[in-house]
Amino acid sequence: MLNKVQIKVRGYHLDIFQHVNNARYLEFLEEGRWAFFDDFGGVELMEEGIAWAVVNININFRAEAGFGDTLEVQTRYIKLGNRSITMKQTIINTQTQDLVAEADVTYVCFSKTLKAAVALPDDLRQKIEQAIADSE
């Protein structure tokens, strides 16, 4: 499954060089992940005391984006561990089709009660495995 969400670059996203500040890309990527979870599921786990904790983010910046650009954040699963998932995210400038940034984000399935990483529920694991297979 590939999820896409668009974000318009606003003035408050810019730094003194008049392009998107690197810290804003973390927010854009997070918006993409929340949109992904809205469509894919997994948010309901929070009601059961399970959360997704980000444990690693690697971002490569490829091109600048500026005021008025529309950026498309694309998100998909790429790797599944016993207690973790890794997502690949790309940010594309929709006007130029330039790759603006790409990131790998790793989460662990975290029990709020136990305050520890736990194995993914079997039904969710199967759903993620299928999503990874479908996107290859």
Query: What is Dmax (Cα atoms) for the chain?
Result: 48
Q: How far apart are the first and last CA of the chain?
A: 10
Q: What's the DSSP call for residue 62?
A: -
pTM: 0.89
Q: 2-39 pLDDT, tens per residue?
A: 899 999 999 999 999 999 999 999 999 999 999 988 88
Q: Within the chain, which residues score under 70 in pLDDT?
A: 42-47
Q: How far apart are CA 47 and CA 118, in angstroms?
A: 16
- C-alpha distances out from residue 110 to 5, 31, 74, Å: 26, 20, 25
pLDDT (0 to 100) of residue 45: 65
Other residues' Cβ atoms within 10 Å of the Cβ of residue 100:
23
pLDDT (0 to 100) of residue 47: 67
pLDDT (0 to 100) of residue 42: 64
Q: 3-class SS at 131? A: helix
β-strands 70-80, 99-111: how paired? unpaired
pLDDT (0 to 100) of residue 102: 98
For the chain, domains (ranges, CATH) are 3-135 (3.10.129.10)
Would residue 38 show up in a list of annotated catalytic residues for this protein?
no
pLDDT (0 to 100) of residue 43: 64
Distance of CA 78 to the CA centre of its chain: 11
pLDDT (0 to 100) of residue 44: 66
Q: Let me know how many helices (H) and strands (E) the chain has, helices first.
A: 2, 6
